[in-house]
């Protein structure tokens, strides 16, 4: 492939670098990151995505890019709704994996309870781990309501309030959801997984605001230095995974039916407006709604647990959801393409929507600032709060990175950490970590990830999203 550097952090894979490319590839990275990206193969996935029918402007990769299924994690692809395709490989298995940030009217120095006890209490009250079920067990009829209503269902059941809906992407519900499209196997996998964290890179993190970069926006959002915060990272669990699996065969058959040629079967696709495309969208929306309901419930469980262990009333904590963002999803958004406004299917695979100030998609209270963009790092360093940048519409289809991005596979991470005690290492840094298994901590150790500050520096420089505040972890719960 032919790569040229366009700017300090912009690299272009030229359109004629591979037969079938309809647009160039754009990678946002620094030189050292680019070398890793080329070595591990995710750049080839950027190129493959550039061949998708109806793709517009470019196949884009964020600085946290790493190898994934079909589209790389950190990939953004926008296709024309009338002429283009939709692909499950551009979304991923964990549909609407996402993160939300809750802030409190409490400083970290006001916590008098031992952090180890806080962590244990959270771990005991938040179900986590592979396939782990929770206390909420729903029959199919009620689960259908969850898939239809999303966060609204959780709020109606007493998990949070209407302000949470105002501060959730898409208000926590996609209207395209059709629960009748979802397979029985997906229902079986999801019936007891509401209010559960899951495993892998999913986590619950109690931390605090260590540094503020944009004082005016931080003040507008109610953020202050030393403030206690809570990050929740989870998705649609087994239900979403099953929905993705169910549609992979459907889309492979669709390639032949619609005579579409793709260089990688993991990018199997169908026209957006085809029966297959619309059914996938209806099922994807169900999984997205399940994920939003799940995070809404996790928020409620965590806040109540914190109040209990800190021996205060919830109202005295004054918890407030800053925002909830989706990472693996397709959204229909309008952009100007060659001087004409087009409705596009924006696939964000391990990428966060980053709406600039004034966007019609923002809730009223964020129109003057732009959207809060929540970027978790790794459990041993820090995370960031950003705001949608003015250049996001032209550079990234209103998208930013979604995290630090892996540099080591899980297998390599376990091998590297073979004789190490990750929990002890983090404790020495003042961070309490509790996990269902030692293997998870080795898979998720800080060394397995890029330094999120470098990733964030790039999107900040490009004005895709601007740094507002940096968060430091105090205790972390993992599956």
Q: Is 347 annotated as a binding residue?
A: no
Residues 6 or more apart whose Cβ sits within 8 Å of residue 165? 151, 152, 155, 171, 172
Q: Is 145 annotated as a binding residue?
A: no
Q: Is 377 annotated as a binding residue?
A: yes
Sign of CA dihedral 104, 424, 204, 411: positive
Q: Is 205 annotated as a binding residue?
A: yes
Given a contact cutoff of 8 angstroms between Cβ atoms, the answer to whether 445 and 417 are in contact is yes
Given a contact cutoff of 8 angstroms between Cβ atoms, the answer to whether 349 and 328 are in contact is yes
Q: Which of 66, 241, 347, 402 is catalytic?
A: 402
**Residue 402 falls in the annotated catalytic set:** yes
Q: Is 318 annotated as a binding residue?
A: no
Q: Is 281 annotated as a binding residue?
A: no
Question: Rounded to 5 degrees, what are φ and ψ at 30?
Answer: -95, 175
Q: Is 226 annotated as a binding residue?
A: no
Taking residue 81's Cβ as centre, other Cβ atoms within 10 Å add up to 18
Q: Is 403 annotated as a binding residue?
A: yes
Instruction: Collapse the DSSP code of 76 into the 3-class scheme (helix H, G, I; strand E, B; otherwise coil) and give the result.
Output: strand
Q: Is 20 annotated as a binding residue?
A: no
Of 197, 199, 219, 196, the C-alpha closest to 209 is 219
Q: Is 379 annotated as a binding residue?
A: yes
Given a contact cutoff of 8 angstroms between Cβ atoms, the answer to whether 4 and 34 are in contact is no
Q: Is 224 annotated as a binding residue?
A: no
Nearest-5° Cα angle at 58, 57 to 62: 135
Q: Is 378 annotated as a binding residue?
A: yes
d(CA 342, CA 129): 42
**β-strands 25-28, 59-66 pairing:** parallel
Q: Is 321 annotated as a binding residue?
A: no
Annotated binding site for GMP: 201-205, 327-328, 376-379, 383, 402-405, 478
Q: Which residues are catalytic?
A: 402
Annotated binding site for Mn(2+): 94, 202, 233, 327
């Amino acid at each position: 492939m032919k790569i040229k550097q366009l700017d300090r952090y912009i690299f272009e894979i030229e359109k004629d670098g591979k037969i079938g490319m309809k647009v160039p590839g754009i990678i946002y990275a620094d030189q050292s990151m680019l070398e890793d990206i080329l070595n591990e193969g995710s750049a080839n996935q950027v190129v493959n995505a550039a061949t998708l029918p109806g793709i517009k402007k470019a196949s884009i990769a964020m600085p946290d890019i790493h190898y994934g299924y079909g589209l790389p994690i950190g990939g953004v692809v926008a296709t024309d709704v009338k002429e283009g395709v939709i692909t499950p490989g551009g979304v991923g298995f964990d549909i609407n994996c996402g993160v939300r940030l809750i802030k409190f009217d409490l400083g970290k120095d006001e916590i008098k309870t031992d952090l180890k006890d806080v962590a244990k209490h959270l771990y005991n009250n938040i179900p986590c781990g592979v396939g782990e079920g929770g206390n909420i067990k729903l029959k199919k009829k009620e689960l259908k309501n969850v898939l239809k209503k999303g966060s609204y269902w959780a709020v109606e059941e007493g998990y949070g309030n209407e302000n949470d809906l105002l501060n959730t992407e898409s208000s926590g519900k996609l209207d395209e959801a059709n629960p009748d499209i979802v397979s029985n196997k997906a229902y079986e996998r999801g019936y007891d997984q509401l209010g559960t964290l899951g495993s892998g890179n999913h986590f619950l993190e109690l931390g605090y605001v260590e540094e503020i970069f944009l004082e005016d926006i931080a003040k507008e959002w109610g953020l202050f230095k030393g403030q206690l915060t809570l990050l929740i990272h989870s998705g649609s669990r087994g239900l979403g995974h099953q929905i993705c699996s169910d549609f992979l065969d459907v889309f492979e058959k669709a390639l032949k039916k619609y005579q579409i040629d793709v260089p990688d079967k993991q990018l199997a696709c169908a026209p957006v407006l085809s029966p297959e495309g619309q059914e996938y969208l209806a099922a994807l929306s169900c999984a997205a709604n399940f994920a939003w309901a799940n995070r809404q419930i996790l928020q409620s469980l965590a806040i109540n647990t914190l109040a209990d262990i800190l021996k205060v009333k919830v109202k005295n904590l004054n918890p407030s959801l800053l925002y909830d963002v989706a990472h693996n999803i397709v959204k229909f958004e309008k952009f100007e393409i060659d001087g004409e406004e087009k409705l596009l299917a924006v696939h964000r695979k391990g990428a966060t929507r980053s709406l600039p100030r004034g966007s019609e998609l923002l809730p009223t209270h964020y129109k003057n600032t732009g959207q809060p963009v929540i970027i978790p790092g790794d459990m041993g360093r820090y995370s960031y709060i950003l705001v949608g940048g003015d250049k996001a519409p032209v550079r990234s289809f209103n998208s930013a990175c979604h995290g630090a991005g892996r540099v080591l596979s899980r297998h390599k991470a376990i091998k590297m950490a073979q004789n190490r005690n990750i929990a002890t290492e983090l404790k020495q840094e003042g961070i309490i970590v509790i996990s269902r298994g030692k293997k998870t901590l080795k898979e998720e150790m800080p060394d397995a990830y890029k330094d999120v500050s470098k990733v964030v520096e790039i999107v900040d420089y490009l004005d895709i999203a601007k740094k507002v505040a940096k968060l430091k972890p105090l205790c972390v719960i993992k599956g």
